[in-house]
Amino acid sequence: MPHPFVYSHHDFVTDVSRRSENYPTVAPPSTKFDTTIQAGWKDRMDRGLFRYHLGDLETRILPGPHCYVAQLNIQRGIERRKPQEILSIQQEFNASQFNFNKINPDEIIFELIRSTEGDTASTNEGRLSQSCRMIVLINVSPLEFGHCLFVPDPLQCFPQILTRSAVQFGIESVLLSSDPGFRVGFNSLGAFASVNHLHLHGYYLDHELKIESMPVTPLVPKKGFYHMQDVPAGFLFYTESEDVEKVARTVCQVTDFLVDNNIAHNMFLTRGCPPCGCIQTRKDCYLRNGVRIAIWPRMACFGAKEESAFNVALCELAGHLPFKNKKDYESATETDVIDIVQKYLLPDDAFDRLEQQVSSHLLAL
């Protein structure tokens, strides 16, 4: 096992901004977290541990207000591991199927360990009941530079259902990076998760996404629970470094509700500006000091035929579109993308009912 990477809240980067013509900023220097992931990832690429060589991906921004980031990644569509047969959002872990205890150990970059020493917010019970370690390994079928998988305590064999600790690790990973292009995400079973062994995705995308600053409407203000106003319709939380544990707990209350009601979902974490009520000036729209956590409830897909252009999972819902073939990549319009994405979302009336149910659920806790 490579040397562990131990961190605490003192390592979080709290001064990140998007650069613009009106508000030029100097990017913070790369953190130890960034350099460790990137150096380890490049090393494994040089050693031939990936299924294909990922060069600079052909990229274009689709015309239109959503500014979708389209990338041509034919090899991922061809070479990625065949997804496991998934029959239920609550499907149990099966040790006989592929899982992350069966990988080549050389694929592991490091072990990420959260230090709770001196952290008065963590109780003894919390330390005992929640994992404080995460294995970071390469995704051998990468969709972008630095594409890694974050696997909490692989030997515990957790199924692909979010835990509070996993959500907290995801948020903290984004805060450990000084790069506003570092993203973390999660696909539930039935939402294009291909392995039923708890894991999150992390990768770098050097393009701004609309989700970083899109407007939101408060649903349960005291819980920091918002509705994303733009398509695709979903829920949003926001946190800065001091509230991570509290927000992770509330996020998990929402995803637990979705799992209990057999509703598939995707989650995407990215640096973003504060919600609308916290924005006082235009400059605030470029702040990336905190993390936006988007959750999309969606139609479950079990053994469904895949789309020819792109599958609809965590990155596609966030506006990053890895296309599988050159024809669709070159011809797709914003309208085409919206039409594909909408097929996988809940109908408006079902989403409205769910939004009310989740809001009531949070208020009752």
DSSP state letters, 130-195: S--EEEEEE-SS-SSTT-EEEEE-GGG---S---HHHHHHHHHHHHH---TTEEEEEE-TTTT---
Gyration radius of the chain over CA positions:
19
DSSP state letters, 42-54: HHHHHTT-SSS--
Q: Which one of the listed residues 66, 147, 199, 201 is annotated catalytic?
A: 199
Locate the DSSP E strands across 42-114: 59-61, 69-72, 108-114
Beta bridge partners of 269: 184, 293
Q: Which residue has the tokens 């629970």?
A: 225
Whether residue 265 lies in the annotated active site: no
Half-sphere exposure of 237 (CA within 13 A, CB side): 28
End-to-end CA gap in the chain: 41
Catalytically active residues are: 199
